[in-house]
Structure 1
Amino acid sequence: MTTTASPLQVLPAPRHTPPGVPLPTHAQGGRSTRTAATPYVQDALAVDFAAASDEQVFGPQVTRAHELPDPRLWAAHIAQGLVEVMHGVRPPSQVMRWTTPEVYAVVARRGSRAARRRTSSGAAHRTRVLRVHVCEPADDVVEAAVVLVDGGRVRALALRLVGRDHRWVVEALQIG
């Protein structure tokens, strides 16, 4: 029983890429040359642009008070730091992270004027916090009244702290 082998047949390799879609040329004026029998149609990318704005996604994120350090202790520390910056004893860059741009501008301006006056007189102020009173009008807001001794005077400092990006930020400041 002898079998004869059929001759070897060579076939081209199959194509693994889909056929291209012809695009209209400038001369065709934007008319499509595709016919209804074209098998490939590209769908639109599903993106929801109305879901959230860039500010909501990448802007400052609200942080609740229970996720942050004790506001009474923190208000005492930042109040002393702010007063020292306003007297020109401490550089303003040390409080930049903990203040809004508006508060920082006021504190830095006051500090630069005080530093110029201090270099001529040579006297430095000593600041000491006596008491801190705290009120929480909202879950991410704390208002603090800080009583401090500034040189030979007793002064009051009112702060509005807001929870942003997992830290307290001074949003408003009034010194009396």
Structure 2
Amino acid sequence: MTTTPPLQVLPAPRSGPVGIPLPTHAQGREERLRTTAPYVQDALAVDFTTAREEAEDMPRPTRVCDLPDPRDWAAHIAQGLVEVMHGVRPPSQVMRWTTPEVYAVVARRGSRAARRRAVRGSAHRTRVIRVHVCEPAPEVVEASVVLVDGGRVRALALRLTARDRRWVVEALQVG
């Protein structure tokens, strides 16, 4: 029977270069005081252009007479919104014409419908039949859109606001 020699533990060899000693906190402070001039506060630099630019980014109301006919526009945007909600059209195409809240709802419904359509593989065409428009306030138009969606007749209620020289869908109700 052979006996094995006992294990010897040796330190690992150094694989990296020898480190450079760092100065202590006191040594670093002394060096900074020798190399830099004393701090003197200068006049505050105030930029007034950003306030003006922010005001330009804010939505500006627009006169209704400067915009396209709300009846035709409501028909077109309703067609587009329904196609997005069916997953036929990408939601980014209606982003400019909707508020962030309306866009989130439409995009979410569109992504669900696109997943369902990928499983079933069916898509149907939607047609706008009729549009009714009323103006409850200046720069605001409410439209009810009747459309044929596959074999069903459906209704869409839209609240359009005149903003930044375009109509923006501020509220949407699907029936």
Length-normalised TM-score, structure 1: 0.69
Query: Which residue of structure 1 lines up, in the alignment, with residue 99 of structure 2?
Result: 100
Residues in 1 aligned to 2:80 and 2:52: alpha-carbon distance in whole angstroms = 35
Query: Which residue of structure 2 lines up, in the alignment, with residue 139 of structure 1?
Result: 138
User: 1:58 offset after TM fit, Å?
Assistant: 2.9
- As a proportion of its length, which structure holds more helix? 2
Query: Which residue of structure 1 lines up, in the alignment, with residue 120 of structure 2?
Result: 121
State whether structure 2 residue 68 is matched by structure 1 residue 69. Answer: yes
> Following superposition of structure 1 onto structure 2, how do residues 1-176 of structure 1 map, counting pairs within 5 Å?
56-176=55-175
**Aligned with 2:134: secondary structure?**
strand
User: 1:54 offset after TM fit, Å?
Assistant: 6.3
Output the amino acid matched with 2:141.
V
**Aligned with 1:132: secondary structure?**
strand
**Aligned with 1:115: secondary structure?**
helix
User: 1:138 offset after TM fit, Å?
Assistant: 1.7
Residues in 2 aligned to 1:151 and 1:96: alpha-carbon distance in whole angstroms = 25
Residues in 1 aligned to 2:115 and 2:57: alpha-carbon distance in whole angstroms = 39
Residues in 2 aligned to 1:53 and 1:124: alpha-carbon distance in whole angstroms = 48
**Aligned with 1:106: secondary structure?**
helix
User: 1:125 offset after TM fit, Å?
Assistant: 1.9
Residues in 1 aligned to 2:173 and 2:54: alpha-carbon distance in whole angstroms = 28
User: 1:64 offset after TM fit, Å?
Assistant: 1.1
Residues in 2 aligned to 1:70 and 1:141: alpha-carbon distance in whole angstroms = 13
Length-normalised TM-score, structure 2: 0.70
Output the amino acid matched with 1:76.
A
Q: How many residues align?
A: 133
User: 1:55 offset after TM fit, Å?
Assistant: 5.3
Identity %, equivalent residues: 77
Note the aligned Cα RMSD (angstroms). Answer: 2.3
Summarize the Cα distance change of 1:64–1:77 in structure 2 as closer, same or farther, 3 Å threshold: same
Output the amino acid matched with 2:132.
H
Query: Which residue of structure 2 lines up, in the alignment, with residue 41 of structure 1?
Result: none
Output the amino acid matched with 1:173.
L
Question: Which consecutive aligned stretches of 4+ in structure 1 deviate over 6 angstroms post-superposition?
Answer: none
**Aligned with 2:136: secondary structure?**
strand
**Aligned with 1:172: secondary structure?**
strand
Structure 1, unaligned runs of 5 or more = 1-25, 31-44
Structure 2, unaligned runs of 5 or more = 1-37
1:84-115: per-residue Cα shift (whole Å, max 9, x none)? 00000001011011000110000000000000
